[in-house]
Amino acid sequence: MSTLDYHSEAVKQGIERLKLLGKHSDVLMQNYYGVELDEVAVGARAINQLLDAHILWRPDEESGLKLSDPVREMIVHLIADEQRRKVNADIGDFLVNIRRLVGKINEAEQKGNYQGSVYLQTQLTQEVDDLNSRIATGIDSLWNRLNNDFAFVSTVQEKIDENEKAHNEVLRWLDGLELINFAELIAFAGSNGGLRHILVRQLQGQVSGHFSSLREVQSRLNELMARFRQQQARNLLVRGMLQFFQQKPNFQPSDYIQRSHVVDLLNQAAPLQPSVSIALDRQRDLQDMQQMLAQLPARQPQDARALAVAQPVSRQDDEMVLAKRRALHEDVVSFYLHVLDQQQAQSALEYLVDSQLCWDPEMWLYQVIAEFQGLSSTERQAFYLQYNQQKASPFNDLQIIADVQLQVLSQGVRA
């Protein structure tokens, strides 16, 4: 809910004065279009109210009442005054008035009518102020439209149209300002200090300000126009190309890549991932590296323990394998010695069972054969190793050894 205090003085006054505007809207609008305000018809009381409310003001005792600048500006905004856009005529009119007044002033001064001259100079000041405020208002209205990107119309096309209108307006203002001929005004003022002040120092200063303001508006309008046109082109492109692709689903563009010149749009180098590592051999980085090392998060104690345990285990493994192999070798050597002692053929597998050795039979046979082949040729002549073997199957010539018989030879002959 509104928290506005309807009983506050400011609110009361605001409402009163807005009502006042409504009540006298007719005369105020007429005055806006240059009709002199008939004070008698409006009535002294109403005139005083309007003056109190700063809706009207009286530039000086002699001259008529005028709309105050804020009210004039408000009306311009309210009615988006097309009339105000017809500026050349306005500036022309002002200039005619200025010339007329300057003529009168010079005339009065020549006649020694200084009081008349002062009065006319006030009128001239008023005229120059009016001209200035009219141009300023016109430029303000342009800025307003610019600053909201012509948001008061919706489509890009309308924005482009509005931009063009505004652009023409700027040109008209610039043309209008060109009409103000300062050489002429300087000549008018002659040696009259008062006139010089109004026409040269004041007006010239203001006009040059307006000029640069208008140039700025112009360049901003151009920028905006370029943007509008670009947007329009983009909209059209996206819509049009989608339409085209829909009509030609199998569209294949030409091979632009094989041309001698490939446009940059199509020439995109393959991505490359630069990677680096620490250079351990660079002395001057040593300190940094040490720091980095110190900053590394501590290793999980769990991991450390696992690592410490794992290594001896693997060593133990090696040792166990070696020990087993040695034991196997010794058992096989005993088998050979046993055969030498017995001086008769002995089956390796039978020996294994009889001696209650717990070697895997296959491993045992391998080791017996390996030991035989490992003997020097003279020692080997003392033994004879017979393979008990047979074919894997009738169609497979692979010989499978079931057992071996070892016997001692005396002078190369089986015992």
Partner 1 sequence: MMMQYSYLLEQLLGGAFVCEVSDSEAFRQLQNEQTREAFDQYLRPLNRRLASNPEGTVWFLAWRELTQPLREQLSQQFKDTLDSLIPMLKLLQLAQETLGHENVLTANDILNRHEMAARIENNPSLREQLHGLAQTRFFQSQSEDVAGQLKQVFERLRSHGYLHQPHKDRHHYLVTGKIDYLIDLTRFIREEENIQIEEEQVPNQEDLLA
Q: Which of residues 265-324 bind partner 1 (CB under 8 A)?
A: 265-274
Token pair, residue 147, equals: 């600053």
Q: Which stretch binds partner 1 (CB under 8 A): 49-57, 216-224, 238-246, 353-361?
A: 238-246
- φ, ψ for residue 405, nearest 5 deg: -110, 125
Among 11, 29, 262, 353, contact with partner 1 (rule: CB under 8 A) = 262
Q: Which stretch binds partner 1 (CB under 8 A): 51-59, 178-186, 237-245, 287-295?
A: 237-245
Q: Which stretch binds partner 1 (CB under 8 A): 109-117, 183-191, 256-264, 395-403?
A: 256-264
399 forms bridges with which residues in the sheet? Answer: 391
> Shortest Cβ distance from residue 164 to partner 1 (Å)?
14
> Shortest Cβ distance from residue 225 to partner 1 (Å)?
15
* 4 lines the binding site for partner 1 (CB under 8 A): no
Give the C-alpha separation, 252 to 243, whole Å: 15
Token pair, residue 326, equals: 């040695």
* 236 lines the binding site for partner 1 (CB under 8 A): yes
Q: Give the HSE-up count for residue 382: Cα atoms under 13 Å, Cβ half-sphere.
A: 11
Which of 2, 268 has the CB closer to partner 1?
Answer: 268
Q: Which stretch binds partner 1 (CB under 8 A): 31-39, 252-260, 291-299, 386-394?
A: 252-260
Q: Which stretch binds partner 1 (CB under 8 A): 85-93, 165-173, 255-263, 283-291?
A: 255-263
On whether the CB atoms of residues 173 and 139 are closer than 8 A, the answer is yes
> Shortest Cβ distance from residue 166 to partner 1 (Å)?
19
Give the C-alpha separation, 257 to 165, whole Å: 46
Give the C-alpha separation, 121 to 102, whole Å: 8
Which residue has 């120059």 as its token pair? 128
On whether the CB atoms of residues 386 and 404 are closer than 8 A, the answer is yes
Q: Which of residues 100-159 bind partner 1 (CB under 8 A)?
A: 154-157
On whether the CB atoms of residues 408 and 339 are closer than 8 A, the answer is yes
Which of 89, 242 has the CB closer to partner 1?
Answer: 242
- Identify which of 202, 132, 135, 129 has the alpha carbon closest to the alpha carbon of residue 174: 135
Among 9, 26, 61, 255, contact with partner 1 (rule: CB under 8 A) = 255
Give the C-alpha separation, 151 to 148, whole Å: 6
Beta strand 396-410 pairing with 346-347: antiparallel
Among 54, 215, 239, 324, contact with partner 1 (rule: CB under 8 A) = 239
CB contact set of 96 (below 8 Å; sequence gap of 6+): none
> Shortest Cβ distance from residue 226 to partner 1 (Å)?
11
Among 263, 280, 358, 413, contact with partner 1 (rule: CB under 8 A) = 263
Among 15, 35, 241, 304, contact with partner 1 (rule: CB under 8 A) = 241
Which of 22, 253 has the CB closer to partner 1?
Answer: 253
Dihedral sign, Cα of residue 373, residue 374, residue 377, residue 378: negative
Tabulate helix, strand, coil % of the chain (nearest 5). Answer: 70, 10, 25
**Contact flags string 64-83 toward partner 1, x per CB under 8 A:** --------------------
> Shortest Cβ distance from residue 161 to partner 1 (Å)?
10
Give residue 55's Cα distance to chain centre.
Answer: 49
Give the C-alpha separation, 1 to 23, whole Å: 30
- Identify which of 27, 157, 185 has the alpha carbon closest to the alpha carbon of residue 98: 185
Give the C-alpha separation, 135 to 128, whole Å: 11
Among 92, 256, 323, 330, contact with partner 1 (rule: CB under 8 A) = 256
> Shortest Cβ distance from residue 268 to partner 1 (Å)?
6
Among 253, 312, 394, 412, contact with partner 1 (rule: CB under 8 A) = 253
Which of 75, 160 has the CB closer to partner 1?
Answer: 160
**Contact flags string 157-196 toward partner 1, x per CB under 8 A:** x---------------------------------------
Give the C-alpha separation, 368 to 318, whole Å: 23
Among 9, 26, 264, 362, contact with partner 1 (rule: CB under 8 A) = 264
Contact positions toward partner 1, by CB under 8 A?
A: 154-157, 231, 234-245, 253-258, 262-274
